[in-house]
A and B are shown apart, each in its own frame.
Chain A
Amino acid sequence: MIFAMPAFLWYLVFLVGPLASVFVVSLTNATTLIAPREFVGLENFRTMFGDDVFWMAVRNTAVQVGVVVPVMVVLGFMLGYYLFLRPPLAGLLRILFFTSALLSVATKAMVFYAILAPDGLVNQGLETIGLETLARNWLADPATTLPVIMAVDLWSGVGFLAVLFGAQLTALPADVIEASRIDGCGHWRSMWHVAYGMIRGFVGIVAMLQYLWTLFLSAATVLLLTSGGPGTSSVTLSYLVYSKAFQQSDIGYSQAVGVVLFVLGLAGAVAIRSALRSRV
């Protein structure tokens, strides 16, 4: 077991320790990274719960998670079933899906920054097909900033989930789904009644992971595309943790939000996992 100790210590020092510290720092009045801090009890939580920006972030995060996770998992599953049927040009689709999965958050943000430019791909495209009334400044309009943040996730995420679900379906004994097809099930029924039933547990795991990623990881996209604005129209909880700590010098508040995120993450993950537990 001595061989396992360095890895385990590394894990404790760089992952578990910092995570536990979130709770400690949230109870202090730390302003900047190096300022001295004192224990102030639940003061930060009181400030946070009385802050409109926090509630805006809660609302935006709820919308974001509530739309992105179900849409991505359902479309991903249907597309995965499609890949499983070995349609024509499936190889080309796979390359495209993996390509989008390899983009970093910074490159994805730059791609969206470029296509959403006032005279960029999207607005020129809308003009070409006669919908120029829909053209707008996507990153500066409070009505579109949050949808853009969600679109960045969905754009590349659906394809990658499809590859995962497709691989999982291919790994099943092939005859069950084929048998259901011979019994006269249409693709729609065989997809939802047979294929879904067989990988339900796996769908649950993917949904849970996607929930955690969507909840925690939007800070970078928001920072790079909208900085939460205009106003607070695209502030998410994840971005609030970042901006309170590194832009507004309020580390204590930032970590109080961090605690809220952690609790939401844990509760949501457990809920999704038990709702979609494998019946097999």
Chain B
Amino acid sequence: MRRPGLLVSHVLVWVYALLLALPLYYLLMSSFKDNTEIFTNAFGLPESWSFENYRLAWEYVSLGKGLTNSALVTVAAIALALVVVVPAAYALATNSGRLGKLVERSLALGFLIPGFAALVPTVLLAIWLDLYQTRTFLVLYYVGTSVPLSVVLITQYMRTIPRELEESARLDGANRLQVLLRIYAPLAMPAVATVMLLTFINIWNEYLIALVVAGPSTDVRTAQVALPTLVTNVSAEYGLLTAGTVITLLPIYAAYLLLRRRMENALVTGAMKG
């Protein structure tokens, strides 16, 4: 092995790491500075650790409401998705008929379609259902987008559960629903947890559909939609802008720090099943 080659790759990798880290450091530091300080001292620590920017950003674009809306939509969609997805995965995992195969295939294809591809008809659907500019539509829509990947992931996991467990329970007189609730759902918890984390990340971070469906009202819009309005609301106050960005990032990043391994596994699994 030629040593110089390895040294070059170490250097290149860390240059990239620095390129990733520096903007994030700048984001955090700027959130404690005012424009003058940002423009003259981009790299240094702030002169004082004042949370004034955070307070103002919170007020100017009603970030509190935005975060509440995001949380409501996310929690409701995850709960509803589980009710829909787990029975479907059970049905597909325990059924080897042709219809099951067909449903599973078409769901696997659906995973490839970015929801954005149907941006306009999605809004038309919201209007048609009389749910335009409501959080309800966002919840229903996000459940739909989470179905393909969630069903495929949980189905694959449930296939590893021995069928004998179901057969003996059925001999004891349990019906399909009881088998699902008492045996399959509890045993599939690792896959269910992965799906919940993935759904959480995807919904919390979603921007474009939330923008065009929920609209500009602060009572309905999510944090992701509220955040960029800082650019137009308070023109070029970079301290406020970065403080708002940090606030919006905080919930998902806190979850990451708490559940690091699980979250990393979820992201990798979610991307690998394509």
Contacts and interface: CB of A to CB of B under 8 A. Distances in A.
B16 to A, nearest CB: 7
A254 interface: yes
A96 to B, nearest CB: 5
Given A7-B85, A103-B249, A188-B5, 16 more contacts: A4-B87, A5-B88, A17-B125, A25-B121, A33-B124, A34-B127, A96-B20, A101-B267, A102-B249, A105-B207, A112-B23, A120-B42, A155-B20, A159-B20, A187-B1, A209-B271
Contact of A216 (B38, B88, B92, B114): B114
A251 B1 contact: no
A167 B180 CA distance: 32
Contacts of A216: 114, 116-117
Contacts of A269: 112
Interface in A1-32: 1-8, 10-11, 13-19, 21-22, 25
Nearest to B230: A110
Nearest to B209: A220
A11 B30 contact: no
Would you call the interface of chain A mostly helix, strand, loop, or mixed? helix
Contact of B112 (A13, A78, A212): A212
B143 to A, nearest CB: 6
Contact of A6 (B87, B117, B180, B244): B87
A241 B208 contact: no
A186 to B, nearest CB: 6
Nearest to B6: A187
Interface string A110-129: 11111101011100110010
Contacts of A11: 106-107, 110, 144, 147-148
Interface string B233-274: 000101001101100110011001000100110011001101
A240 to B, nearest CB: 12
A105 B260 CA distance: 21
Contacts of B136: none
Contact of B274 (A14, A103, A114, A205): A205
A248 interface: no
Contacts of B228: 106, 109-110, 224
A25 B263 contact: no
A2 B272 contact: no
A60 interface: no
A113 B24 CA distance: 13
Contacts of B17: 92-93, 96
A245 interface: yes
A20 B2 CA distance: 56
Contact of B253 (A102, A209, A220): A102
A90 to B, nearest CB: 10
A84 interface: no
12 contacts: A7-B85, A14-B140, A15-B145, A34-B127, A96-B17, A106-B205, A106-B227, A111-B27, A115-B23, A186-B5, A202-B272, A251-B120
A249 B201 CA distance: 32
Given A14-B145, A96-B17, A163-B268, A115 B224 contact: no
Contact of A18 (B40, B95, B97, B121): B121
Contacts of B116: 216-217, 219, 238
Contact of B120 (A1, A115, A212, A245): A245
Interface in A168-193: 168, 186-188
Interface in B198-235: 201, 204-208, 211-212, 224-225, 227-228, 230-231
Contact of B103 (A8, A21, A209): A8
B70 to A, nearest CB: 10
Contact of B231 (A113, A128, A159, A238): A113
B197 to A, nearest CB: 11
A53 interface: no
A110 B245 contact: yes
Interface string B75-110: 000000000110110111001010110010011001
Given A96-B20, A106-B207, A186-B5, A21 B118 contact: yes
A258 interface: yes
B19 interface: yes
B26 interface: yes
Nearest to A265: B117
A15 B144 contact: yes
A10 B143 contact: yes
A106, A111, A212: residue with the most chain B Cβ atoms closer than 10 Å:
A106
B134 interface: no
Interface in A84-109: 87, 92-107, 109
